[in-house]
Structures are given as structure tokens and as C-alpha cells.
Amino acid sequence: MTSFPLSRRLVSEALGTAVLVATVVGSGIMADRLTTDTALALLANTLPAGAILVVLISVLGPISGAHFNPVVSLVFTLRRELAAMPALGYVVAQILGGIAGTILAHSMFELPLLQASTTIRSGGAQWLAEVTATFGLIFVIFSGLRFRADAVAWLVGLYITAAYWFTASTSFANPAVAIARSLTNTFAGIRPIDLPGFIIAEILGALLAALLTSWLLMDVRIPRTLAETEPTP
């Protein structure tokens, strides 16, 4: 695989996150304008989000890994697959890209470029939902990379599509996206004051998933160590 310079990887992360957020926010605005049925609006928001993830991971994954998410970059760093300084650059690019995505969506729908959301998303159930959503996302990514690397884009897209519906928070699972969504007072928004709880929950979910996948997939074991600690079949 071609190794791309850091500058191009950062642009890839910013671009991917911008398009992802523009899709989430824009489809939410469109859905809200076309129907008063909340369930139908959520479905109209869900399908584009899952679909665009498949596209973005497929086309930008070979350039930057298609993280588009600070907690994904964090876990890659903890696994020593991404150095600390590039990881910091990834996070900054993702946050800035996400904000740009919100501005783009607002521009397309002739709304004020930046708004403070008033949508309340707080409380233990919401935080547990974000822990769960992010845990599942990280687990799917690294299990997919281990067993079905060719299908990771589809696995992630399908997981997020499902998680929109089985989590109380509608599965943000991404601090950069959460920050960007705090700047839109539309269907996809979240109050800025609710951000810390969501971000902490997302980091916790990612760390728990990293621990489990490392053990479950035996990432740090070598055959000799495995033979010494556990019987083989």
C-alpha cells in the first residue's frame, strides 16, 4: 500500500469528517422539512449516515485509514499503530473538518452558518448509550480489520445504521461529530453544555472496547506465550 505524507492524510481526515457531518446534519434538516413524523425523520437521517460511511471509508481509507473520529485515532495510538503527534494532527483535522461540515450543511439550506443547539441530550441513559455505541464501533472496526479487512467499510456503515436505532442517543460515537453537531440547532443537534458527558462516555466506551478486543483477539500474544499460559485446542 502507498504510504501517503502526513499532510495528505490530514486533509483526508478533515475532508472525510466534513462530508460525514454535512451528511448527518444536512439529511436531518431535509428530513425535518419533509415530514413531521419523528420516526420517519430519524430513518431519513440514518440511511444517508450509514451509506456515506461506506463510501468515505472505501475511498479515503487507503489514504489516512479513514478514522474521522478522535476515539478511533486514540485507540490506534494506544495500539502503537499511529504515533502520538500524527494522532494529534488527526484529531485537530477531524474537529475542524466536522465544523466545516456543519457550516456546509447550513449553507446549502440557507441557515445561519453556526448556531448553538438547544436539543437536550443528557442523563445516565444517554451516557450509557454513548458508551455502548462507541464500544460497539471500536469492536467492529478492529474485529473487522482482523477477520474481514475487505468489508470494514460495510461493517462500520451497517453498525452505525443499526446503532442509530438501538441506542437512546442515536449513536454519536464520535467526539468530533458531537462538537460539530453542537453548532447546529436542527434535527441532529446537541446542546453544547451536554458535550462533556457525551465525550467522556465515548472515550470510556472506546477504551473498554480496546481492552476487550486486545484480549479477545490475542493481539499481544505470540504462539510461545500462548502455549505457556493457555492450552491450545
pLDDT digits (tens, 9 = 90+) for 101-135: 999 999 999 999 999 999 999 999 999 999 999 99
pLDDT score recorded for residue 233? 47
pLDDT score recorded for residue 2? 65
Residues 108, 110, 112, 117, Cα dihedral to 10°? -70
Q: What CATH code is assigned to 6-216? A: 1.20.1080.10
pLDDT score recorded for residue 219? 75
pLDDT score recorded for residue 218? 86
Quote the CA–CA distance of 96 and 79 in Å, as a whole number: 25
pLDDT score recorded for residue 220? 55
Q: What are phi and psi of 71, to 5 degrees?
A: -75, -30
Low-confidence ranges of the chain (pLDDT < 50): 1, 221-233
pLDDT score recorded for residue 133? 98
Quote the CA–CA distance of 14 and 95 in Å, as a whole number: 8
Question: Exposed, middle or buried, 208 (CB in 10 Å: 0-12/13-18/19+)?
Answer: middle
Query: pTM of the full predicted structure?
Result: 0.92
pLDDT score recorded for residue 147? 96
DSSP label at residue 122: -
pLDDT score recorded for residue 117? 97
pLDDT score recorded for residue 225? 41
- Tens digits of residue pLDDT in 211-233: 999 999 987 544 444 444 444 44
